[in-house]
Amino acid sequence: MPCTDKQFDVDTLECPLKRSSLMTSATIKLFLPHGDAKRLRVGEVSNWTGKALAAPRTELDDLLLREEAESAGIYFLFGSDPESGDALAYIGEAEVIRDRLKQHKAKDFWNAVVVFVSKDENLTKAHIRYLENRLLQEAK
């Protein structure tokens, strides 16, 4: 069924009828290396070439030991402003996640990290810089 002019979403220029028919299902695979969802977690989504790793600051060393930390990717450091208590997020990119996250050990504000890498190691420096830039724009 085609969309009429009145059915188009003016912000996205998409037809909501078509969008709903394009939705597909997905499977999320979550690996808990320590058997605890509050510790290091590794996630994958079916039909997606990415992989996510998340950990509290106390588990950073375990995250850095994983082979995914040798990859290029983007990362988020989450925490709070020590003076105001406001939530803070630092968005970064690195060609070798392990090396860059080691540099952040000295920063006190953060208490959790989330990393995104490619399962097939196809992220280049240009890709991760683009992703970081887009994420920074979205965060504003």
Span 92-121, pLDDT tens digits: 999 999 999 999 999 888 999 999 999 887
Q: Which domain holds residue 56?
A: 25-139
Residue 40 within a domain: yes
Least confident of 4-8, 16-20, 80-84, 134-138: 4-8
Residue 8 within a domain: no
The beta strands (E) that lie in 1-139 are given as: 28-31, 41-45, 50-56, 73-80, 87-94, 110-118
Residue 11 within a domain: no
Burial of 78 (0-12, 13-18, 19+ CB in 10 A): middle
Residue 3 within a domain: no
Residue 18 within a domain: no
Residue 51 within a domain: yes
Q: How far is CA 5 from CA 8, 16, 20, 21, in A?
A: 6, 12, 17, 18
Tokens read off for 37: 């969802």
Total domains, the chain? 1
Q: pTM of the entire structure?
A: 0.79
Residue 29 within a domain: yes
Per-residue pLDDT for 4 more than 80? no
Residue 20 within a domain: no
For position 16, what pLDDT does the model report?
54
